[in-house]
Chain A
């Protein structure tokens, strides 16, 4: 095996932080190397150095044995290292073709873009990946998943020797993930090498052959994937033994009453005739593929979107929820899957965020905010939820992803909810913070609050839930009790198959279309 990329002694300091500390990394040709670690472990910094976006303070990078200096991402691409960032860089109003060949369009004599060539080349390129997309289509008309795939294809189109992928599946649906993996394997057998950054340990085992763990900027270890267990990896990442991430469950007692009930919920084009009930202390999972209508259902129960038909009962009485404030008054909390866009007030301090849904509780009869009460409340929540922040006056923007998520949880637990609807509780959250969030949910459940947990992370659903409802195309297709849980069964319901067909699962369909 030949080593295609070797980074020696890479060190990077930021004011007050040693982000990467004398790290060595080697990548062989045709290898898929996983890079894991908690947020702040130095993964992104290290990859930005390899991708030319940052310059190291110390250390050297060798590409195919030759020392290279990478001053910009363009340098790196020219040398043969392409990087796909988590954030999408597509220009929505421009076509698929112009995005893939941004700044590399075929041009004529007067530097004019030769449109026909551009579209033809794009079509040929997309065909190589069996992607049936119109090169002329503006990117904003594509789904998030398709855009993310395009982002990766754009990097591949520069024909790199090394492709760095940073959380490439964060907004992909299951079959899109499979599509991506198939193509990664194909390119791998053609000799391309990959560095794969991920939070999802299941993906490490699915697609990568070797895994490197970083913690606090230090190299912790390198393992062959087939010789390591998930628990070992987690322990390496957090630096302490984590035996049971999901915590110990309290058995639901026979007397647990179904106190919250949703009946006949329908909203055109999103979900149809959804009915279920929730018991006190129960953690009820909602599984399904992206687009199954779970998020939409959660929003509708909370009153964020209007329903066409349906009723909600709480403690035996019908309640009417027309807007989020109605739900909050009934102490129903909805924690969004998109904390940055929909959940938090990033430019505001932790203090202001934590009280956002419960302003009323901190208002004097005259309508004025009670500062001392707010300070006491927010300080106690920061302690209780182990939110790492220098003070309650720090902007949420400056916290890590895990701490932001803890802010979101603390903010909504502040309304002392009777019902919690939690959409993707741990998306983009590192293992340490995940354990904290799970522990909090367990505490609430143990105190009698019912939790509706919408999640795309199957191990999380199986580890946390008492019962799982599966949705497909806006309908409930299955319901599993604890002793019936298995990833296969959930996936088959999610794909809209009935139980018998599990024996012969059909192939994944093309993602385009």
Chain B
């Protein structure tokens, strides 16, 4: 009898684990990896894996902030512009103002924070739709940086700065560490910390969250600040890696980040998603791009596949949801 209920409990446990999006993504990634290892001798080598991770470090880092924002019912389309803005701002601080690297970096991050703060105030205090607010900020911020840099890239950044994007620890480049450490910390916080769990309540029902004593506006503003700062961090790393701040870098990054979050189980309606899922979504997109590359598939096919996978992920969700509610 007791063992019976135990196996039963274990059974439902396993069922819930399997039902979780992260599990299916990991499974798909593993199967995909095995196939690629058989097909291509290059796939499972460290240089290739490092290239994948480095390639997705921008999307992966921003996705952390984006998924938290999506969970709380928000959305930020301006992350690509914020990324470039931070790079240009830091580049100008280094080259035109001749500030030392740590101070310039701080300046850059403050610039990113300002963008996030403005987004947050517009959305939470003035109640402007997040899509419209951040769509506006996407052009505003991009325009501002073009004016600041007069449309030109800032070149020849000093080594004291470029080291943060190019340096290695145990043979692995810094941006990969930054992403992985941020993912682990943010995932733990979103699962266990009271402050961060408030975002789930806000996304599920903002008005009920208010009545439950949650400081909705504060959490929302800080979520916009967080995603902007993470976009800023990604901007610093990519600028340092290339040794110059480009004015066009990061365009389109917002859509790739959103795609990663949604493949990873987040919903545009809020209340759902995990940081780990969003990271897996980004990883999945990175592995897919890399594999198509290795197989010599034309680069144009990448968009097509990414799009299809996004739609498949959402369709699977809808079907699951429907099956669950009809079981009731």
Contact = CB atoms under 8 A, between A and B. Distances in A.
Contacts of B326: 14-15
Contacts of B322: none
B194 A368 contact: yes
A14 B325 CA distance: 11
Given A16-B327, A324-B212, A342 B271 contact: no
A344 B192 contact: no
A324 B211 contact: yes
A363 B189 CA distance: 13
B211 A348 contact: no
B272 to A, nearest CB: 7
Contacts, number: 81
Nearest to B16: A393
A398 interface: yes
B156 interface: no
Contacts of A344: 205, 208
B23 to A, nearest CB: 16
B198 interface: yes
A493 interface: no
Among B204, B214, B272, max chain A CB count under 10 A is at: B204
Contacts of A88: none
Interface string A119-151: 000000000000000000000000000000000
A408 to B, nearest CB: 10
Contact of B205 (A14, A16, A346): A346
A342 B326 CA distance: 25
Given A16-B327, A369-B192, A369-B193, A304 B204 contact: no
A348 B213 contact: no
Interface stretch (A53-61, A153-161, A352-360): A352-360
Interface string B302-328: 000000000000000000000011111
A343 B195 contact: no
B197 A359 contact: yes
Given A348-B200, A348-B271, A352-B200, A324 B210 contact: yes
Contacts of B328: 398
Greatest chain A CB density within 10 A among B192, B200, B326 is at B192
Contacts of A356: 201, 208-209, 212
B271 A345 contact: yes
A367 B193 contact: yes
A397 B272 CA distance: 14
Contacts of A246: none
B204 A346 contact: yes
Q: How large is the interface on B (under 10, 10 to 19, 20 to 34, 35 or more residues)?
A: 20 to 34
Contacts of A362: 194
A347 B204 contact: yes
A345 B271 CA distance: 9
Interface in A273-327: 302, 304, 323-325, 327
Interface in B209-262: 209-215
B271 A357 contact: no
Nearest to A396: B204
A341 interface: yes
B213 to A, nearest CB: 4
A271 to B, nearest CB: 19
Q: Which of B195, B211, B324: most chain A CB closer than 10 A?
A: B211
Contact of A359 (B192, B198, B205): B198
A347 B271 contact: yes
Nearest to B198: A359
Contact of A369 (B194, B215, B324): B194
B149 to A, nearest CB: 41
A304 B193 contact: no
Nearest to A329: B213
Contacts of A345: 200-201, 204-205, 208-209, 271
Given A348-B201, A398-B328, A342 B208 contact: yes
Given A342-B208, A348-B271, A398-B328, A367 B213 contact: no
A445 B207 CA distance: 28
Contacts of B209: 345, 356
7 contacts: A14-B326, A15-B326, A15-B327, A323-B213, A334-B211, A336-B211, A343-B211
Give the 7 A-B residue pairs with the shortest CB-CB distance, closest first: A325-B213, A345-B204, A363-B194, A328-B213, A356-B212, A357-B212, A368-B192
Given A304-B211, A324-B210, A367-B194, 8 more contacts: A325-B213, A342-B207, A345-B200, A348-B201, A356-B209, A367-B193, A369-B194, A398-B325
Interface of A: 14-16, 302, 304, 323-325, 327-328, 334, 336, 341-348, 352, 356-357, 359-360, 362-363, 367-369, 371, 393, 397-398
